[in-house]
């Protein structure tokens, strides 16, 4: 059964009660089935006391009909934020030496200093919080600064740091799962862009993890720089979702 899952971290940072919509077996059955599942999830959430002001959802394009969704959730205003692609490099797809000037820090050893990478928070324009004007730039910036800090200090199991001229220049945070390495934050500082740092960073991740694990990363389709980078180093899109925000009316 689809359900609302409270997001405590997001709620604290945004000063809003936030949740995400998790789908069960309805995905792939068409827009009517998914819209009905959304309606049931909101009704069940209200009965359980989960009355989030902001609910995020990712729905496959063929299952997404905003009109039907609005009919099933009449007390919600829906904001469509764009299409997000999941990119994947299958296990064993990359064979090559570890590029130079990329270091890996592990959470178990204290992670890495987040301060050099905090400027990336202002650059995460292709993210759902920046793309929704109702969230506002100040809150979006606060979320990303906190996310970068948390990932560097232990939320991510591993952090890849690329250097240029002896200075930290690029970052990739890595969550290690059974048979997979999932990237969350990938960014290159403004002063280092256009100098191959992003490609070197991604190839280092693939050299370290790509033989034994499938490596995945997500990006909005409109983020041409990220999409171009992932394709250039051998990733392929394997899934697409429409990202939606459901705001409670009133």
Q: How confident is the model at residue 26 (pLDDT cuts 50, 70, 90)?
A: low
Using one digit for the tens of pLDDT, what is the confidence trace for 117-173? 999 999 999 999 999 999 999 999 999 999 999 999 999 999 999 999 999 999 999
8-state DSSP, 195: S
> How large is the average pLDDT for residues 23-35?
81
At 205, phi and psi to the nearest 5?
-60, -45
Instruction: State yes or no: pLDDT of 98 exceeds 90.
Output: no
Is pLDDT at 73 greater than 80 in this prediction?
Answer: yes
Percent of the chain past pLDDT 90, that is, above it, reads: 86
User: Alpha helices, DSSP H only, in the chain?
Assistant: 8-14, 31-47, 66-72, 128-131, 137-150, 197-209, 224-232
Alpha helices in 110-177 (DSSP H): 128-131, 137-150
Structure tokens at 190: 């403004």
Cβ atoms of 248 and 53 within 8 Å: the answer is yes
Mean pLDDT of 188-199: 97
Domain residue ranges in the chain: 3-74, 89-239
pTM: 0.93
What is the DSSP code (8-state) at residue 100?
A: T
CATH number 3.40.630.30 is the correct assignment for the domain at 89-239: yes
Indicate the DSSP class of residue 97. Answer: P
Residues 6+ apart with CB under 8 A from 163: 101, 102, 103, 169
Q: Per-residue pLDDT for 86 more than 70?
A: yes
């Amino acid at each position: 059964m689809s359900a609302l899952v409270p997001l405590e971290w997001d709620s604290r940072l945004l000063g809003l009660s936030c949740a995400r919509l998790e789908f069960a077996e309805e995905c792939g059955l068409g827009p009517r089935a998914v819209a009905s599942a959304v309606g049931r999830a909101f009704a069940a959430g209200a009965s359980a006391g989960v009355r989030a002001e902001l609910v995020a959802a990712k729905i496959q394009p063929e299952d997404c009909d905003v009109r039907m969704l609005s009919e099933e959730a009449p007390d919600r205003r829906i904001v469509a934020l764009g299409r997000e692609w999941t990119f994947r490099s299958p296990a064993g797809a990359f064979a090559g030496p570890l590029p130079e000037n990329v270091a890996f820090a592990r959470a178990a050893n204290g992670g890495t200093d987040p301060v050099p990478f905090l400027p990336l928070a202002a650059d995460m324009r292709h993210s759902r919080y920046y793309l929704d004007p109702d969230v506002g730039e100040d809150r979006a910036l606060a979320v990303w600064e906190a996310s970068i800090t948390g990932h560097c200090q232990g939320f991510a199991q591993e952090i890849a740091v690329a250097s240029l001229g002896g200075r930290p220049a690029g970052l990739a945070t890595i969550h290690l799962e059974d048979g997979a390495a999932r990237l969350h934050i990938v960014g290159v500082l403004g002063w280092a862009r256009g100098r191959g740092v992003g490609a070197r960073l991604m190839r280092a991740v693939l050299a370290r993890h790509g033989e034994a694990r499938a490596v995945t990363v997500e990006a909005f389709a409109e983020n041409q720089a990220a999409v171009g980078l992932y394709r250039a180093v051998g990733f392929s899109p394997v899934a697409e979702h429409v990202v939606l925000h459901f705001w409670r009316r009133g």
